[in-house]
Amino acid sequence: MVRRGLAEHVIDRKIAEVAVEHPRAVRRHIEGDLDFAARLAGRTVTGVRRRGKYLWLELDEAGDGSDAVLAHLGMSGQMLVAAADRPPNSHMRVRVRFADDGPQLWFVDQRTFGGMSIHPLVAAAGGGLLPEPVAHIGRDPMDPAFDLDAAVAGIRRRRTELKRALLDQTIVSGIGNIYADEALWRARLHGIRPTEKLTRAQGRAVLAAAAEVMDAALAAGGTSFDALYVNVNGASGFFDRSLDAYGQEDRPCRRCGTPIRREQFMNRSSYSCPRCQPRPRTHH
């Protein structure tokens, strides 16, 4: 929805000027903020694409092949289309002004985990032209070209714990800590289950559950462009109310009534139902 909203507003528009208002936002553009701004001026946006938490604008040819401006949203980043006279956002990081003096493109990011950078487009293993830093990111479960069986095979090939594999964006993208906990709850699996003992059916179930959760979140929060605003906890208001596991410590499981437990995992909190999602008898 972010991608579609952006596409409607920026495709075929020519960039006039780019202001980097927080240098950290372009730290991954190794040539620096001046180069970042200079290389975008005069370019026309030809496409908007997404993979996982990455979003990029394809640009018209610069003479040395195709490139794109890549945005990573981190956990608090947003791409906003804003009227030129709108009061500036206090977390403004990059502002793009177009030659038509119409609505601007704002990259806004409270926690500055996200950022923007310019990269050539390269052919990815799974098909398509992608910015180089994104080439290793897998498709997400909602992508029409997502290959469920290949993703299950990828997870089962790993020698790790299930939740780690779900959070690894190279196999399947778009699953963060919240979606992982929700998908595991729906599939009745504990996150520390060893991937090599996962059955194909269990693998398909947890990925199908992840797709359901993403669908629900998108349907709830993605209807209008400004409504894609994601709050500090990474969940939209509606989605927050529809969580079954994440953040529900001590609340009764919606299936069996057992209080949801919280555990530390990968320096993060994980939530699960002790009864529906028993820990495997042995692990590691």
Per-residue binder mask for DNA (CB under 7 A), 134-153, x = binder: --------------------
- Residue 169 binds DNA, judged by CB under 7 A: yes
- Residue 44 binds DNA, judged by CB under 7 A: no
- Site for DNA (CB under 7 A): which residue of 3, 13, 156, 164? 164
**Residue whose CB is less far from DNA, 15 or 184:** 184
Place of tokens 């040819």: 61
DSSP strands (E only) in 73-169: 77-82, 92-98, 104-109, 115-123, 129-131
Calpha distance 262→202 (Å, rounded): 23
- Residue 122 binds DNA, judged by CB under 7 A: no
Q: Which stretch binds DNA (CB under 7 A): 41-49, 167-175, 199-207, 215-223?
A: 167-175
Query: In whole angstroms, how close is the CB of 53 to DNA at the nearest point?
Result: 4
- Residue 110 binds DNA, judged by CB under 7 A: yes
Query: In whole angstroms, how close is the CB of 12 to DNA at the nearest point?
Result: 28
Calpha distance 166→176 (Å, rounded): 8
* Token pair for 215: 């669908």
For residue 105, how far is the Cα from the chain centroid? Answer: 19
Calpha distance 100→10 (Å, rounded): 11
Calpha distance 228→281 (Å, rounded): 41
Please, are residues 116 and 107 in contact by the beta-carbon 8 Å criterion? yes
- Residue 58 binds DNA, judged by CB under 7 A: no
- Residue 16 binds DNA, judged by CB under 7 A: no
- Site for DNA (CB under 7 A): which residue of 3, 7, 21, 24? 24
Classify burial at 183, counting beta carbons within 10 Å of its beta carbon; exposed 0-12, middle 13-18, buried 19 or more: buried
**Residue whose CB is less far from DNA, 173 or 202:** 173
> Nearest Cα to 41, choosing from 80, 13, 15, 76?
15
Q: Kindly report the number of other CB atoms within 10 A of residue 212's CB atom.
A: 15
- Site for DNA (CB under 7 A): which residue of 87, 145, 241, 267? 267
The site for DNA, by CB under 7 A, has a size of 35
Question: Roughly how many angstroms between the first and final C-alpha of the chain, as a whole number?
Answer: 39
Q: How far is CA 150 from CA 72, 99, 154, 206, in A?
A: 26, 45, 6, 14
- Site for DNA (CB under 7 A): which residue of 3, 156, 158, 261? 158
Query: In whole angstroms, how close is the CB of 164 to DNA at the nearest point?
Result: 4
Per-residue binder mask for DNA (CB under 7 A), 66-95, x = binder: ------x-xxx-------------xx----
Place of tokens 């507003």: 9
- Site for DNA (CB under 7 A): which residue of 111, 200, 279, 283? 111
Q: Which stretch binds DNA (CB under 7 A): 42-50, 59-67, 80-88, 227-235?
A: 227-235
- Which residues bind to DNA, rule: CB under 7 A? 24, 28, 52-54, 72, 74-76, 90-91, 110-113, 133, 158-161, 164, 167, 169, 173, 176-178, 232-234, 246, 266-269
